[in-house]
Amino acid sequence: MASSLTKDAGAQGNPVSDGKTFFGHPRGLATLFMTEMWERFSFYGMRALLVLYLISGGADAKVGEQGGGLAMTAATASAIYAVYMAMVYLLAMPGGWFGDRVWGPRKTVIIGACVVIAGHLTLALPGQGTFFAGLAMVALGSGLLKANISTMVGQLYDGPQDPRRDSGFTIFYIGINLGGVSAPLVVGTIGQSINWHVGFATAGLGMALGLVGFLFGTRNLNPRSNEVPTPLTREERMGWLRKGLIWTVIAAVFYGIVVATGTFTLNWALIPISLLGMIIPISVLVRIKRDKELTQTEQTKVSGYIWFFVAAAIFFMIFDQAGSTLNVFADKNTADTVFGLHFPSTWFQSVNSAWVLALAPLFAAAWTALARRSKEPSTVVKFAMSMLLVGASYFVFIVPMQMSSGGDKVSPMWLITVYMIQTMGELCLSPVGLSVTTKMAPQKYASQMMGVWFLAVTTGDCVVSLISLAGADLSGVGVVASEAALAVLAGVAIWMSRKKIEASMGDVH
């Protein structure tokens, strides 16, 4: 049985307050806002450079681009990028587990931040071996941090029905995008124009600043964020240790044989990881759904949550290609001069976050105004809207793809428009998805359900990785049109099933 602390954590009540607020919200939101902003600075800065660094020096790189990269093909680079993104979000699940059962959310965030910093410093060292080691460390640290910091945001409010809760997550989401705007401008410029490895180190500096701010601001957090809700027993610790050692030995022996026989290629790592990214989310949802300790109401909510999970997977399958498909298109096929002023192509990676900062307050105000009139769209309708919008963005993307097929450069306004449409879809899905996850989470899985939400991103990214590894051209009109059509069809299906989904949500709206 879950401890009483876990149950209370699921309710997210009893926040600490000294009367001072952050824009009407608990002061702890400012601490978590700044920590996540700097973590996203490191994440988006490195993401802006990743694919361009991988193809630098190769046939798919832009003519005249800075050398010093790994000279990979765009297809391989896109697969690596998709796997990396998948691992960041896949590792959010064990990150939530460590927060629930080993260290508590607060300590897990601190450890995760330290691992991210170490990963960026490793990326700053030249060499393919250090590159993949650093990439793995950044993914691991981000996974430890992500689920737990979102859980701590929920803990600041007085239960799921606190009217400030959704707007609090929206403000938190703005912090994410402040980091997203600034990182490509700073890290992207340094990495793309000066030195790739100095750029990676600069991203690590951002995470270091976030860690310092978090340590100074912990007094404003809910004290329960420092507790371990359901600590492992000694027997459980030994059992997990044995399982970890067994799987480590199996993996070491298997890959040792592959390397010794001279047959190892990157696909030996990329394909198994991509398949795991598809299998693990399904198995996790099945395990939670079959947990006999859950009440009937919780079981029903989990069933309804699967709809949101699938929708998010399809959404991020398209959305996360901003750092790969759209990033390469920006570098090779989009004009990088406006009014005579030249800018690095990595700056396009700031556009989505800039649109969030511009549009999020308008969306938040619109939802609030509609709520006062009892006309706010339900969570289900917002998800359907997000699917239609992300599908439309890729249909629009086909136009500049066709225009540049002969080698011409297209106006930056095309990508800016694509990002605007995607951002509108994102604002209908991501903040709402974070909030609905904490509301629909079974009490036993308070932190782990945030990991489940991020597993939807893992699933979408792994689909992209497998498509790329299978030889499909992610920048081809056929693939782009197919992805767009899938998203639109998913949006229509959610809209048509909205009453059934809403019935399964119980008191969550």
CATH of the domain at 432: 1.20.1250.20
**How far is residue 123 from each of residues 50, 52, 83, 127, 460, measured CA to CA in Å?**
11, 14, 17, 9, 26
Which amino acid appears at position 102 of this protein? V
Segment 145-165, tens digit of pLDDT: 987 887 888 888 876 667 777
Which amino acid appears at position 203 of this protein? A
Closest C-alpha among 215, 263, 389 to residue 318 = 389
Q: What is the mean pLDDT of the chain?
A: 87
* CA 295 – CA 1 distance, rounded (Å): 12
Segment 170-199, tens digit of pLDDT: 788 788 889 999 999 999 999 999 999 999
* Mean pLDDT within 301-321: 92
* Mean pLDDT within 102-123: 94
* Mean pLDDT within 376-386: 91
Residue predicted with more confidence, 164 or 140? 140
Contact 6, 442 (CB under 8 A): no
Q: CA angle 184-189-191, nearest 5°?
A: 95
Q: What is the pTM of this model?
A: 0.87
> Could you tell me if residue 395 is inside a domain?
yes
Supply the pLDDT for residue 7: 31
The pLDDT-based confidence of 333 (bands split at 50, 70, 90) is: very high
Q: What is the DSSP letter of 410?
A: B
Rounded to the nearest 5°, which phi and psi values hold at 116? -60, -45
Supply the pLDDT for residue 10: 40
Segment 392-410, tens digit of pLDDT: 999 999 999 999 988 889 9
> Could you tell me if residue 345 is inside a domain?
yes
> Could you tell me if residue 454 is inside a domain?
yes
Supply the pLDDT for residue 249: 94
> Could you tell me if residue 257 is inside a domain?
no
* Mean pLDDT within 426-446: 80
Segment 443-456, tens digit of pLDDT: 777 666 776 888 89
Supply the pLDDT for residue 12: 44
* CA 31 – CA 424 distance, rounded (Å): 27
Confidence check: pLDDT of 166 > 80: no
Which amino acid appears at position 352 of this protein? N
Supply the pLDDT for residue 15: 47
Q: Lowest mean pLDDT of 66-70, 113-117, 162-166, name the range.
A: 162-166
* CA 318 – CA 325 distance, rounded (Å): 10
Q: CB-side exposure of 99: number of CA atoms within 13 Å?
A: 36
The pLDDT-based confidence of 508 (bands split at 50, 70, 90) is: low
The pLDDT-based confidence of 442 (bands split at 50, 70, 90) is: confident
Confidence check: pLDDT of 377 > 50: yes
CB atoms within 10 A of CB 252: 10
Confidence check: pLDDT of 426 > 70: yes
Supply the pLDDT for residue 509: 61
> Could you tell me if residue 60 is inside a domain?
yes
> Could you tell me if residue 12 is inside a domain?
no
The tokens for 402 are: 């066709």
The pLDDT-based confidence of 294 (bands split at 50, 70, 90) is: confident
* CA 195 – CA 140 distance, rounded (Å): 25
Supply the pLDDT for residue 13: 46
* Mean pLDDT within 303-313: 90
> Could you tell me if residue 241 is inside a domain?
no
Confidence check: pLDDT of 421 > 90: yes
Structural domains in the chain (count): 1
Q: Which string of DSSP letters, residue by residue, matches 379-406? A: HHHHHHHHHHHHHHHHHHHHHHHHHTTT
Q: What is the DSSP letter of 429?
A: H
Counting Cβ atoms within 10 Å, is residue 250 exposed (0-12), middle (13-18) or buried (19+)?
exposed
* Mean pLDDT within 331-360: 90
- Range of the structural domain that residue 176 is part of: 25-222+265-504
Confidence check: pLDDT of 293 > 90: no
Counting Cβ atoms within 10 Å, is residue 231 exposed (0-12), middle (13-18) or buried (19+)?
middle
Segment 31-61, tens digit of pLDDT: 999 999 999 999 999 999 999 999 998 888 8
> Could you tell me if residue 344 is inside a domain?
yes
